[in-house]
Amino acid sequence: MVDNKLPKATHESNLSIGNITLKVAVLEDGTRVITRNGIFQAFKRTQRGRALADKRVSGLPSFIDARNIQPFIDDDLRRELTEFEYVSKSGKVVRRGYKAEILPEICDVYLRAREDGNVLTPQQAPLALQAEILTRSLAKLGIVALIDEATGYQAEREVDELQKLLSAYIADEFLPYQERFPSEFYKQIYRLRGWKWPPKKNHTQYVGKLTNQIVYDLLPDGVLTELRRKNPIDPSKGYRAHRHHQFLTIDIGNPHLEKHLSQLIVLMRISKDWEEFDGHMLEAFEKYGSQTKLHLSIPKEDTKVSSSKKLKKFLDSGGRSGAEDDFDRALRRASKPE
């Protein structure tokens, strides 16, 4: 008999990513789910029994319990690695699954382990390769948006979704300044552009332009417009009084920014230069790819000739805009009653 206390799926479907198909669902509370079998299928692995204790960590699911990758699993992911039961949409079957958001996080674990050198065993190397393939596929819309589209849940979102997002995402007043962009973000930009690291002075305006293009322009729809309204350029000074991220809320806005930065860093890590990274971005973010690629012909660096004007011309002609629509979990949190 099905336990009536278990959460129930309101939407179910099969999600195709590349050459694999995952069973996914959306629960009554909006939780996006990938079935237990689906996680194994994502990495083209069969479910197995427990291996020797000296090679595995108890208490973790078998797809991520290898001891050699534990240093790459952060506390946030560990908390989410909990299997739970839910009732199928028909009400007749009890399924087991995980929150869908862990899939890209698992990919990042294997990619960072591979990047670290001689960490992965030969048997784990295919997992890192599959993680790279999944990362490119999932980055396009995000696992949440892909599930919503596959299950039809997207059509039933509330009409005031944008206003709820802005209220949850942007604070009424700016917050005290804190460092939000990790040094690796800038280090990877310099590596991909072929520039010397660390810079002798502050970052150039071109780095700021790149940051706008790959970060703020890709925040959820409506956020950048609202940030510019709240944090306008002072005409007498020619610049803004605060950093945009100072207006993002602590509980939703800034965590989403941090996850977006983490996603960008993953794409940077798997790129050998800026042109390859740009290609990954074109695949990952549809609205980023709606603009031209003229900026790829920009020389890497010219210290003798003032390149800022040339770069500005290319950047202005690109005029990237748009945002990633991958913020549903934040909306659910914001709309829950106190």
pLDDT tens, 290-319?
544 434 444 444 433 333 343 334 334 433
8 A C-beta contact, residue 110 and residue 124: yes
Residue 205: other Cβ atoms inside 10 A: 12
Q: Are both 169 and 148 inside the same structural domain?
A: no
Asked if the structure places residue 272 within a domain, the reply is yes
Q: Are both 165 and 149 inside the same structural domain?
A: no
Residue range(s) defining the domain that contains residue 271: 161-332
Residue where a domain terminates, one of 132, 156, 180: 156
Q: Are both 89 and 169 inside the same structural domain?
A: no
Residue where a domain terminates, one of 156, 181, 198: 156
Q: Are both 108 and 213 inside the same structural domain?
A: no
pLDDT of residue 48: 56
Q: Are both 145 and 194 inside the same structural domain?
A: no
Asked if the structure places residue 1 within a domain, the reply is no
Count of structural domains, the chain: 2
**Tokens at 216, concatenated:** 């703020």
Most confident of 136-145, 219-228, 289-298, 311-320: 219-228
Q: Are both 327 and 293 inside the same structural domain?
A: yes
Asked if the structure places residue 4 within a domain, the reply is no
Percent of the chain with pLDDT strictly greater than 90: 28
In the three-class reduction of DSSP (H, G, I as helix; E, B as strand; rest coil), residue 194 is classed as coil
Q: Are both 174 and 151 inside the same structural domain?
A: no
What does pTM read for this prediction?
0.49
* Lowest mean per-residue pLDDT among 11-25, 142-156, 158-172, 239-253: 158-172
Rounded Cα distance, 200 and 214, in Å: 24
Q: Are both 66 and 178 inside the same structural domain?
A: no
pLDDT-derived band at 156 (thresholds 50, 70, 90) equals low
Q: Are both 287 and 323 inside the same structural domain?
A: yes
Residue where a domain terminates, one of 156, 183, 200: 156
